[in-house]
Amino acid sequence: MRPTPPDLRHAFTIVAEVAEPEVLEHRGEGTLEFIPITGGRVTGDITAAVLPGGGDWCLTRADGVFRVEARYLLRTDAGELVDVHNVGYLRHLPGETGDWTAMRYFQSTPVFRTASPRLQHLTSTVFVGRARAGADEVSIDVFEVLA
């Protein structure tokens, strides 16, 4: 039997506003930066604000790949709190060159925690994200992995 990929369904989009990165440390040929998350909005299956105070710990590797690890909170329009832990990679596709703004591979795996009974499906479902990075915001289309 041939393996078949799972279906995906767009669940929501997170637009996180970000400030200038700050260098935390140099690791061999790589650099670890902290990118503060200053706000933003979520639209789709849930509507929410991205709360200021989170951030992205971004490791720029010697091979030019960025490993991102973001941690932040959402507050839904109904007042529910959702913790987001999003890990991923930003890099060039084969044959592409240029700085980070030209990188088209930006995929992630967001994981959610919440005490909200209405949003418990977020805590028991696998999601994948496809992101786009700009100078002052990151937009993540979050897709639910279906059975």
Domain coordinates of the chain in residue numbers? Answer: 8-145
Judge whether 82 and 73 are in contact, CB under 8 Å: yes
For residue 17, give Cα distances in angstroms to 37, 55, 92, 141: 6, 10, 23, 15
**Residue 16 CB burial class (10 angstroms; 0-12, 13-18, ≥19):** buried
3-class state of residue 147 by DSSP: coil
- Amino acid letter, 12: F
The topology under which CATH files domain 8-145 is: Porin (2.40.160)
In the block, residue with structure tokens 């897709």: 143
Question: Could you read off the pLDDT tens digit of each residue along the chain, which spans 147 residues?
Answer: 999 999 999 999 999 999 999 999 998 889 999 999 999 999 999 999 999 999 999 999 999 899 999 999 999 999 999 999 999 999 999 988 888 888 889 999 999 999 999 999 999 999 999 999 988 999 999 999 998
β 55-60/48-50 pair status: unpaired
